[in-house]
């Protein structure tokens, strides 16, 4: 049975499990952004609504990227359960803060997979994850920039703050 797994699968089985968890995390993030988009849409916060609809799509694309990567490398991608999505927010700022927290959690999770891939000599996954690390750095920056606008425009009407956000 020497090296049988290596012959059938190019990625390490432990790394595959973590990647499957990551798919679930990205899909949960996508569903969560959809809830945020709906919250904004109902309150006519047009820029925020567009932003979160786009974020929801992007997170799904990330999940799909990992999903096909696992299967392309001989592994078994698992379609995840997405439950307990929060649809209730106290303010627009709280929506963005939740978004940033979510992005940070995703980044941490990717770092964990990256470390495991490196430890297990899984070079294929390590290279694959480099794109995600750059992407996460950009995502976190976007959220932090928006939260800076909140600080700069403190006390202004919500609609006016929303109009200052970058248009998609």
Partner 1 sequence: MNYESDIEYCYQIKQATFCKYVLITPSKEVQLTFPQMLELRRKIYDLTTFNTLNEIINTDNFVLLFVADKQHLIYLDIPQLLKLKEEIELFFLDFNPVLV
| Window 45-84: contact mask with partner 1 (x via CB under 8 A) | -----------------------------xxx-x------
10, 97 in Cβ contact below 8 A? no
- Identify residues 75-134 at the interface with partner 1 (CB under 8 A): 75-76, 78, 120-123
CA dihedral (62, 66, 69, 73) in degrees, to 10, reads: 170
5 binds partner 1 (CB under 8 A): yes
DSSP state of 27: H
| Window 12-31: contact mask with partner 1 (x via CB under 8 A) | xx---x--------------
In three-state secondary structure terms, 79 is coil
Helix segments in 43-122, DSSP class H: 46-72, 92-119
User: Which residues make up the interface to partner 1 (CB under 8 A)?
Assistant: 1-9, 12-13, 17, 74-76, 78, 120-123
């Amino acid at each position: 049975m020497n090296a049988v797994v290596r012959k059938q699968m190019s990625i390490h089985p432990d790394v595959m499990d973590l990647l499957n968890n990551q798919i679930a995390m990205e899909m949960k993030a996508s569903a969560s952004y959809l809830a945020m988009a709906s919250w904004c849409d109902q309150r006519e916060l047009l820029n925020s609504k567009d932003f979160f609809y786009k974020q929801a799509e992007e997170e799904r694309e990330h999940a799909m990227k990992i999903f096909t990567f696992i299967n392309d490398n001989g592994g078994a991608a698992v379609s995840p359960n997405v439950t307990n999505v929060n649809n209730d927010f106290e303010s627009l700022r709280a929506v963005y803060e939740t978004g940033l927290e979510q992005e940070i959690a995703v980044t941490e999770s990717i770092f964990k997979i990256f470390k495991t891939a490196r430890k297990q000599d899984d070079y294929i996954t390590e290279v694959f994850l480099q794109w995600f690390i750059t992407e996460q750095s950009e995502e976190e920056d976007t959220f932090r920039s928006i939260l800076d606008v909140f600080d700069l425009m403190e006390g202004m009407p919500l609609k006016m703050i929303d109009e200052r956000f970058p248009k998609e």
